[in-house]
Amino acid sequence: MRTVLPIALVMTLTACHQARLGPAPSRRVGDYAFRITLSGQDPVRGSFTIEPDTVLLETAGQACRVIPAQVRTQNLLGFSCFPPPGLEAFGITIDPNHPSLSKWSAVQSVMKTRTVCTRYTTTPQGRQVCAETRNENYFDNVRTGGTLSLTAVDTVGTR
């Protein structure tokens, strides 16, 4: 009985341990072009190149820089790019193992309207209530994004 319990415990732990299912995914080496459609703006076009040890990205003819804090998080590479007109910030996250799952994100300053009270009055019961309002405009940063729409792919396979 003393030997059965340790063997059962080892077998249980082994069965519960997640084993790696095959080799780690490899990079999809090649050149990729993409197009991002933003409402009310011209599309943003760009391309990226995946090499065995490097990923290069450019949008609208300008190179993007790697965001060091996001490098190699779950094998993803984060880039900060010069924002197109009308955007406050623009970034792309490349998945070198699955380029079609790469994503983009942007921050846009959007004008919104809110109603504010300009004059209060007191009711006979002593409650203060709004007697007059007006609309005012303000700007709010709105985040948007999605999956990159690849328009051209020239892969050379994995090396």
Please state the domain count of the chain: 1
Residue 10 lies in a domain: no
Residue 30 lies in a domain: yes
- pTM comes to 0.66
For residue 88, give its domain range: 26-108+142-155
Residue 90 lies in a domain: yes
Residue 41 lies in a domain: yes
Distances (CA, A) of 134 to 110, 112, 114, 117, 131: 20, 14, 8, 7, 11
Low-confidence ranges of the chain (pLDDT < 50): 1, 4-23, 158-159
The predicted-structure confidence for 52-71, as pLDDT tens digits, reads as follows 888 899 988 788 998 876 55
Q: What are phi and psi of 28, to 5 degrees?
A: -95, 80
Cα 76 from Cα 133, distance rounded (Å) = 49
Residue 2 lies in a domain: no
Cα 72 from Cα 49, distance rounded (Å) = 17
Residue 11 lies in a domain: no
How many Cα neighbours within 13 Å face the side chain of 140? 9
Question: What's residue 70's pLDDT?
Answer: 58
Residue 44 lies in a domain: yes
The predicted-structure confidence for 79-90, as pLDDT tens digits, reads as follows 999 888 888 899
Burial class (CB in 10 A: 0-12, 13-18, 19+), 59: buried
Residue 5 lies in a domain: no
CB 108 within 8 A of CB 87: yes
